[in-house]
Amino acid sequence: MTTPSAAGAHPAAPCPSAQARRWRQRHSASAFLMLSPWLIGLVVLTIGPMAMSLWLSFTNFDLLTAPDFVGARNYAYLLRDPRYAQSLWVTFIYVAVSVPLKLVVALALALLLAKASFGIGPYRAIFYLPSLLGGSVATAIVWRIVFGADGIFNVALGWFGIEGRSWISTPDTALSTLIALSVWQFGAPMVIFLAALKQIPADLYEAAAIDGAGPARMFFSITLPLLTPIVFFNLVLQVINAFQTFTPSYVISGGTGGPSDTTLLYSLYLYLEAFTKLRMGYASAMAWVLLAIIGVITAALFATSGRWVFYADKGDRT
């Protein structure tokens, strides 16, 4: 961006404002040129398809024949589609259980790994490893095997005399295996927590220790309050991610969302409608409603954040 002082640098020019405009035009042209790889990507790969999908959500597009405008019929059908209601229910449970659990595990491990000691590096890497593999099809397949009828989870239960079952294909437990898989991928929030823990000034702990505070008191009075911005950040990111989870439910249920639709996550139902039943219009409507749901929940998180997120620098200013 040019600034007014740029024009002032040439006081002898006959018409400074015109020259400034030319200068500005030339510079914004080159700015746009430099931005173009990203801009083209944004328009062609993001804004274009989004606009297209918004239009399609008002049509009956079936991939093979030209779309017809059907008004808000797709959105209206969402309200009375029992399978859609089921997918919403499954997704809300998945998000509400997996995200807090994952954050607790990530924070607990970050606390353990934050203690600087010799040889901690490899341990941090090992704990981060599942997250690198996490979203992959391979892990989901492994999960399927581990929690299947002949899986090692049942073998382990057998040592304690507990009779196992096929956890992935029993309606009461199928979703729990997906949640466990999600929690197991705690690496990304853990790394962020680790970095944040290093930022907490050591003198706070020293002062607290002198005042006689124990480890629990220090955690709840110093560590946790100072980490709340990071908790908030991780919470928002993980909620958004969790709503979009697709791969594990697709792979573990063999693309069906079964048994009895108990693993039918939102994205999986959207996929089934779009690509197995070719209801692109309906699936597009589902996608826009998901965007709205995520938007509303994220906004709600931001709205409540003032009550529990503590910014140390803000406190300094008042």
Partner 1 sequence: MSPSTPSRPGPSRGRTRRAVLARLLATTAALTLGAQFTTSFTAAQEVAPADLRMAWWGGEPRAVATRAALDLISAKYPGVTFTTEWSGFAGYFDKFATQVAGGNAPDIIQMNFAPELADYGSRGVLLDLGPYVASGKLDVSGFNEAALASGSVDGVLYALPLSGTTPATIINQTKFGALGLAEPPADWTWEDFAALAAEIPKAANGAYVGADDASARQEVYEVWYLGRTGTQLYNDAGERTDTVDDLAAWFQMWADMRAAGSIVQPDVQAAHTPGDNATMPFVLGRSAMTFQWSQGQTTLASLQPDDLGLALQPSAGEHPHQYVRPGNLISVTARSRNVDTAVAAVSAFVSDPEVLKVLGMTRGVPSSSQARALLEPTLTPIDQEQVAFIDKVSSGALTAAPSASFRGMLDVDQLFTRTGQDIAFGRVSIAEGAQRFLDQAADLLAR
> Which residues in this chain contact partner 1 in the complex, by CB under 8 A?
63-65, 77, 82, 148-149, 165-166, 168-171, 253-256, 258-261, 272, 275-278
Q: How far is the CB of 80 from partner 1 (least distance, A)?
A: 8
Between residues 182 and 263, which has the closer beta carbon with respect to partner 1?
263
Nearer to partner 1, 72 or 132 (CB): 72
Question: Smallest distance from the beta carbon of 124 to partner 1, in angstroms?
Answer: 36
User: Residue 92 Cβ, how far from partner 1 at the closest point, in Å?
Assistant: 19
Cα of first residue to Cα of last residue in the chain, in angstroms, is: 34
Measured from the CB atom, the residue of 139 and 177 that comes closer to partner 1 is 177
Instruction: Output 82 or 119, the one with its CB closest to partner 1.
Output: 82
Side chain identity, residue 15: C
As a whole number of angstroms, the longest Cα–Cα distance in the chain is 94
Contact present, 252 and 94 (Cβ < 8 Å): no
Q: Quick one: 275 or 308, whose CB is closer to partner 1?
A: 275
In whole angstroms, how close is the CB of 256 to partner 1 at the nearest point?
Answer: 6
What's the min distance (Å) between Cβ of 298 and partner 1? Answer: 31
CB of 211 to partner 1, least distance (A): 56
Closest distance of CB 252 from partner 1, Å: 10
Please identify, using beta-carbon distances, which residue of 194 and 283 lies nearer to partner 1. 283
CB nearer partner 1, residue 187 or residue 281:
281
